[in-house]
Amino acid sequence: MSRRAKGEGSVHRYKNKWRAAVTINGHRITRIANTKEEALQKRDDLLKLTANRNPNTLHQRFTTTEWIEHWITAIATPTPNTERGYRSVIRNYINPHLGGIPLEKLQPEHIERLYRAMRDGTYRQPVKLRNGRTSHPKPLAAATIRLTHTVLHRALHIAEQRGHLTRNPAALIEPPKPPKPKVDTLQPADVAAIMAAAKSDPYGPRWALGLLLGLRPAEALGLTWAALDGDRLTIDKQLVYDNGALALQPSAKTASGHRVVLLPEPLVDWLVEWRAEQYRWMLEPAWRDWTFAGDPHPTLMMFTMPDGSPLKPRYDATLWKRLLESAGVPHTRLYTARHTSASLMVRDGSDIAVVAATLGHRDSSFTYRTYVHPFEEEKTEQAKRMSRYL
């Protein structure tokens, strides 16, 4: 049997196991295996690594925790809110189950066992509470498992590109698909009742922006007066909590989320009236110019509290609940206004591409699938029309 050429590596017995070895630029890299076949595979994997990786770093090894921490700290560029979500699944699920595994030894089966534990509610041990009761972990939603898969897949993909892995084990797994979320819409009669009640509400224009133009709650609260130019409104920011403090951030991850919408003339007049009311608040002793952390200049938000501070998300939801009560409409979450807006626009004959642009969607088919819903009275009329064939 002929000897392998120099640089092709070797496989030989090592105690009661097998050892694969490759020498690159004077660095001897070895891997231990239980069988000769496994050692041959490890040798071939080492040779593949040399094609994509600096030979001087072949000896550098990461645990899964070390690599993912390096990825999210030095490589990934998520928004602050997204990073909080990523770090949550890393801290609670990935690190406890996969963190101590050497990165190069991470297998699809390791990840599958994690997903099964998350799905079954066995991803952590029960916890004894101070009152003597025991808190048992609950099965996690498919959306949480899918977010965990997203983090793993992206981090391991970079590891593969840089030669720390010969393949991405997460790419060999199909994560569970989250169920299609139930999307509620208000009926036209409910919209009319809410808009009538909004006429006597100090924040009436805020509700009109949500119900008629489909602004997300954070986008409506993130509006500044500088965003209004005549009948054109620029939507490019959102008001969110960042490390416990209110902050203005870009309104969306994609360029389509940054948009300019055309306001109906009555809504422009309504905003002018609201601004006059806000000016009266500014004359009160309690008013203070609001400055965001890190910004030396005060920012005049479109919707504020009487003291000049931004209208906070939780209080915004409380005001929506009060508005529904005054309108005699059953309670529904604030985001329902956005769903309703899309349905109303399509129902009134707007082109789906225009609706998508107004909502800030990149894909108009997503707009149709997610936000367009038939109204109950229209379904009743259709049933009556079809009855004539019987």
pLDDT tens for residues 202-232?
899 999 999 999 999 999 999 999 999 999 9
Q: What type of residue sits at position 283?
A: L
Q: How much is the mean pLDDT over the chain?
A: 85
Instruction: Reduce the DSSP state of residue 246 to 3 states and report it.
Output: strand
Give the range of the structural domain holding residue 48, as residue numbers without chain letter.
10-57
Residues 260 and 321 in one domain: yes
User: Of 145, 172, 199, which closes a domain?
Assistant: 172
d(CA 319, CA 379): 32
Task: Output the CA angle 99-105-111, nearest 5 degrees.
Answer: 55
Residues 123 and 259 in one domain: no
| pLDDT at 47 > cutoff 80 | no
Q: What is the pLDDT of residue 241?
A: 84
28 inside domain: yes
Q: How far is CA 111 from CA 87, 170, 304, 313, 314, in A?
A: 17, 7, 47, 37, 37
Residues 208 and 351 in one domain: yes
User: Of 143, 172, 201, which closes a domain?
Assistant: 172
182 inside domain: no
pTM comes to 0.67
Residues 112 and 37 in one domain: no
219 inside domain: yes
267 inside domain: yes
Residues 222 and 134 in one domain: no
Residues 209 and 224 in one domain: yes
d(CA 321, CA 62): 51
List, for residues 155-197, the tens digit of each pLDDT value. 999 998 887 888 899 999 988 877 776 778 898 899 999 999 9
For 165, counting Cβ atoms within 10 Å of its Cβ (0-12 exposed, 13-18 middle, 19+ buried), the class is: buried
Token pair recorded at residue 215 = 């602004």
Q: What type of residue sits at position 177?
A: K
Split at pLDDT 50, 70, 90, the class of 1 is very low
Split at pLDDT 50, 70, 90, the class of 52 is low
Check: CB of residue 250 under 8 Å from CB of residue 238. yes
Residues 223 and 310 in one domain: yes
Residues 292 and 163 in one domain: no
d(CA 86, CA 245): 19
Check: CB of residue 304 under 8 Å from CB of residue 290. yes
Token pair recorded at residue 27 = 């660095």
5 inside domain: no
d(CA 382, CA 200): 37
Count the neighbouring beta carbons within 10 Å of the beta carbon of residue 237: 22
d(CA 239, CA 219): 7
Residues 228 and 269 in one domain: yes
d(CA 369, CA 364): 9
d(CA 377, CA 243): 46
Pairing of strands 127-128, 134-135: antiparallel
CATH number of the domain bearing residue 138: 1.10.150.130
Residues 167 and 192 in one domain: no
177 inside domain: no
List, for residues 71-130, the tens digit of each pLDDT value. 999 898 887 778 889 999 999 999 999 999 999 899 999 999 999 999 998 888 887 878
List, for residues 320-335, the tens digit of each pLDDT value. 999 999 999 999 999 9
180 inside domain: no
For 166, which DSSP code? S
Split at pLDDT 50, 70, 90, the class of 257 is low
Q: For 246-275, what is the mean pLDDT?
A: 85
- Domains in the chain, number: 3
162 inside domain: yes
Side by side, which strands form the sheet with 232-235? 228-229, 232-235, 259-262
